[in-house]
Structure 1
Amino acid sequence: MNIHEYQAKEILDRFGVPTPKAEVASTPEEAKEIASRIGGKVVVKAQVHAGGRGKVGGVKLVDSPGEAQEVAEGLIGSRLVTNQTGAAGVPVEKVMVAEILDIKEELYLSIVIDGDLGSPVVMASTEGGVEIEEVAEATPEKIFRVAGDPLIGLTTYHARDIAMALDVPAKSLRATTKLISDLYNVFVENDCSLVEINPLVVTEDDQVIALDAKINLEDDALFRHTDLAGLRDPNQQDPLEQRADQSDLAYVKLEGGRVGCMVNGAGLAMATMDITKAAGADPANFLDIGGSADQKRIEEAFKIIIDDHDVEMILVNLFAGIARSDVVAQGIVAAARETNATVPMVVAMRGTNAEEGIQILADSGLNITGAPDLAGAAEVLKEKLLELGDSN
């Protein structure tokens, strides 16, 4: 689950991580008042779940409270389009007004889960203020990595090693070590999947401050953090993703895809997307219906795919276990009839009640072509794409 920068800042403040003075505003008038309290010269930052704000006017330095009001007036109520959003952009409902710091150096610091190691990994670099992916590609030797122990955590001497790798001033070494330890506590105690500070800045008076913060929370751990679950902003989500959340479906809209995918199991869903790409078309979505989906949930999953106007064909790949093939088939047929769907479908069903499910689909009269397995589905998909015209 993504949260806004101002929300991430509030979490960092609770854990003692130094951040700039800042407040959030929902109206231009509030932005002006906050700028006056902070001291006039401030930065106004659009609060959206997307990076690249600064490149498209979503982050602006201003010299007066009046100018802060003008900038906020232009941002609040608009839609911000960045390289991380779709063409429609995302709505700006709030701005964060923060003090401007005298910056001497920009650094990078983040914590993520390393799947191979099975533990959190702290990544640090002296190349702050730019995308870490660019640093990893151009100068990977400038990224310093330290794994935390799942039981012990991040030891103080490891935090000190990271601070030294960042080459902070000697007088700031102790404060930076504490900041890194506190940030690690933020990650672990809130069940985060990402904590990123970019940039972590050293000011002219050698203070080390988390200037910009990004925190992603692990959805599957939110039951342990009811307070954090309330930070979700559904307005930042794609409308189809909102509907999927309400039905407990794992769904991600993918821009520009033509083939809607309905699968049970995340790993199988990823493989299905790969097969779709190999067949010559981009997948329109990731959709995992889960292992225990009932007919109602199947119907909603199908309707979500149909309501995506980019979808020209649907690929259903089911390896049935708890989620029975006949129940999935009944859900597909019911939803297709309710929505008057005419989109061609390619369906591969194996496992529990597969024969019954295939028969239900065959008797439905819908535009459905069966396939024995995923490889067979790929061949059928290629043929259907040729019938529709040139593939992506």
Structure 2
Amino acid sequence: MLRNVMRRGAPLVGINPTPFIHRKLPLLPLKAVVASQVRYLNLHEYQSKQLMAKHNINVQRFAIAETVEQAENAARGLKADEIVIKAQIHAGGRGKGEFSSGLKSGVHLTRDPKKVPELVKQMLGYKLKTNQTTEDGVLVNKVMIAQALDIAKETYFAILMDRDSGGPVMVGSPDGGVDIEHVAATNPSHIFKTNIDIDSGPTKTQTLDMAMKLGFQGKAVEEASEQMQNLYELFLDVDATQVEINPFGLTPQNQVVCFDAKIAFDDNALFKHPDILSMRDTTEEDPREVEAEDCGLNYVGMDGNIGCLGTINLFVLTQVNGAGLALATMDIIKLHGASPANFLDVGGGATTKQVSQAFKILTEDQNVKTILVNIFGGIASCRTIAEGIVDALQNGPKIKIPIVVRLQGNQVEEGKECLRRSGMNLTLRDDLDEAAIESVHLAAS
């Protein structure tokens, strides 16, 4: 099926195609493949290394530590000539970061295992700020203690889904250890791309050719080729959309090693991988988004600081038009000079309980000045949504901020009547533009 889509030239980015490219898996009943929303799953570096090691991919020897004592024992147990200590957070730029303890850099090297506890004491329990974190930084709960290896040669290698090719491709460059975007911009002739047949995978000839283009020589060519084959097996087995190795390196002992990895997953296929899903670390995620996901809501927190009229909370409940209506409502809020505090889409199967929970999440945001409810009723009728609003206002935490409601669609009159009978202080508008203008006005009051 995917091959037919590819021949038509349909783009793959955004449609999560990887479940279709596996080895002739049996078709499942529709209800068996419906999965709850899971935001892009981020793995820590040590977790990516664990997955690679299981697929016979060469990585450094390492251990993970959550206490100073564990770190000390790990450093002694590695029996390495040199040890690298890396803070484990979901952000790049760790080497140039700074801890709230005053320690510079989230990556440290030492040849003396006795120095490891001293360094780890200044990492665990402190926040690490990098150019990819917030100003406040990210709390470090784990550090990776690993064998430090010298790198004689750094290259770049990745397997990913490619829009232009309509399927998986291998991408490589002899210029590793730097941002691949920089290489593509300054030296595009050093970027090599090879299409992969979705039935047979990369051939030995293809991986050998890629290894030589990356500058490997002698016995290292064969080993690099084998590592590429193993990386493709990992790509398939975990339903990845991207496996990026940078650097894909060579040690002075002529061993090919994957020193660092970034793995992106097809979230729609994670229901098949409970072991991978269990690796998810929600401590660095927005707690509102985690709570919303647990309730079956689609929520994305936003800054809401653009404009001079304060912050408006955009609460969009859609069915027929889906997220498109939500985005259009965000646009109209911006058009009238304010900024949305979040994106929230309950979806077509919304229940009264979900709507009530949505209000709870929204009102926990202290920046919110107004709640705009924009409903296009379909399967989730206006009456259902209205009942949820009333339940939230009557039985949930007291909401002191103004609420503007615009209803259209299935059972719109029943929904309006439900809101009127409640006696709640709500502003009803039929026109979305009028509702947006009123929300902006109330937020500025």
TM-score tier by shorter-chain length is: 0.7 to 0.9
Counterpart in 2 of 1:51?
92
In structure 1, the residue corresponding to 2:348 is in which secondary structure? coil
Letter aligned with residue 293 of structure 2: D
Provide the rounded CA distance (Å) in 1 between the counterparts of 2:59 and 2:435: 55
Provide the rounded CA distance (Å) in 2 between the counterparts of 1:114 and 1:190: 18
CA contact (8 A) 2:84 2:110 kept: yes
Provide the rounded CA distance (Å) in 2 between the counterparts of 1:175 and 1:308: 53
Moved more, 346-355 or 178-187: 346-355
- In structure 2, the CA distance between the partners of 1:284 and 1:102, relative to structure 1 (3 Å rule), is same
- In structure 2, the CA distance between the partners of 1:170 and 1:26, relative to structure 1 (3 Å rule), is same
Counterpart in 2 of 1:339?
397
Provide the rounded CA distance (Å) in 2 between the counterparts of 1:15 and 1:344: 56
Cα deviation digits, residues 80-127 of structure 1 (max 9, x gap): 233333344332111111111111232223333345655334333334
In structure 1, the residue corresponding to 2:241 is in which secondary structure? strand
Provide the rounded CA distance (Å) in 1 between the counterparts of 2:413 and 2:151: 67
Q: CA deviation at 1:383?
A: 5.9
Counterpart in 1 of 2:3?
none
Letter aligned with residue 260 of structure 2: D
Moved more, 198-207 or 26-35: 198-207
Counterpart in 2 of 1:8?
48
Letter aligned with residue 261 of structure 1: L
- In structure 2, the CA distance between the partners of 1:76 and 1:186, relative to structure 1 (3 Å rule), is same
Tell me, yes or no, if structure 1 residue 366 matches structure 2 residue 406: no
Provide the rounded CA distance (Å) in 1 between the counterparts of 2:386 and 2:268: 28
Tell me, yes or no, if structure 1 residue 329 matches structure 2 residue 369: no
CA contact (8 A) 1:31 1:65 kept: no
Counterpart in 2 of 1:248?
296
CA contact (8 A) 2:333 2:440 kept: no
Q: CA deviation at 1:283?
A: 3.4
Q: Which of 286, 299, 314 is the matching residue for 1:261?
A: 314
Counterpart in 2 of 1:166?
214
Counterpart in 1 of 2:64?
24
Provide the rounded CA distance (Å) in 1 between the counterparts of 2:343 and 2:209: 40
In structure 2, the residue corresponding to 1:339 is in which secondary structure? coil
Equivalence map 1:1-392=2 (5 Å): 1-38=41-78, 39-56=80-97, 57-114=105-162, 118-140=166-188, 142-257=190-305, 258-263=311-316, 264=318, 265-337=322-394, 338-361=396-419, 365-373=424-432, 376=433, 380-381=435-436, 384-385=439-440, 388-389=443-444
Provide the rounded CA distance (Å) in 2 between the counterparts of 1:126 and 1:383: 58
Q: CA deviation at 1:327?
A: 1.4
CA contact (8 A) 2:289 2:301 kept: yes
Q: Figure out how many residues of one structure are paired with residues of the other and give that number.
A: 386
Cα deviation digits, residues 257-312 of structure 1 (max 9, x gap): 54433343344444444444444444333333232121111221222122122333
In structure 2, the residue corresponding to 1:101 is in which secondary structure? coil
Letter aligned with residue 44 of structure 1: I
CA contact (8 A) 1:342 1:366 kept: no
Letter aligned with residue 295 of structure 2: S
Moved more, 342-351 or 244-253: 342-351
Q: CA deviation at 1:198?
A: 2.3
In structure 2, the residue corresponding to 1:103 is in which secondary structure? coil
CA contact (8 A) 1:253 1:284 kept: yes
Provide the rounded CA distance (Å) in 2 between the counterparts of 1:359 and 1:137: 60
Provide the rounded CA distance (Å) in 1 between the counterparts of 2:277 and 2:223: 31
TM-score when scaled to structure 1? 0.86
Provide the rounded CA distance (Å) in 1 between the counterparts of 2:333 and 2:116: 48
In structure 2, the residue corresponding to 1:60 is in which secondary structure? strand
For the aligned residue pairs, the C-alpha RMSD in angstroms reads: 2.9
Provide the rounded CA distance (Å) in 2 between the counterparts of 1:41 and 1:301: 51
CA contact (8 A) 1:169 1:206 kept: no
Provide the rounded CA distance (Å) in 1 between the counterparts of 2:325 and 2:284: 28
CA contact (8 A) 2:408 2:430 kept: no
Moved more, 203-212 or 163-172: 163-172
Q: CA deviation at 1:74?
A: 1.2
Which has more radius of gyration?
A: 2
Cα deviation digits, residues 125-157 of structure 1 (max 9, x gap): 334333344445555554433443444433434
- In structure 2, the CA distance between the partners of 1:228 and 1:173, relative to structure 1 (3 Å rule), is same
CA contact (8 A) 1:343 1:367 kept: no
CA contact (8 A) 1:362 1:368 kept: no
Q: CA deviation at 1:319?
A: 3.4
- In structure 2, the CA distance between the partners of 1:8 and 1:384, relative to structure 1 (3 Å rule), is same
- In structure 2, the CA distance between the partners of 1:235 and 1:175, relative to structure 1 (3 Å rule), is same
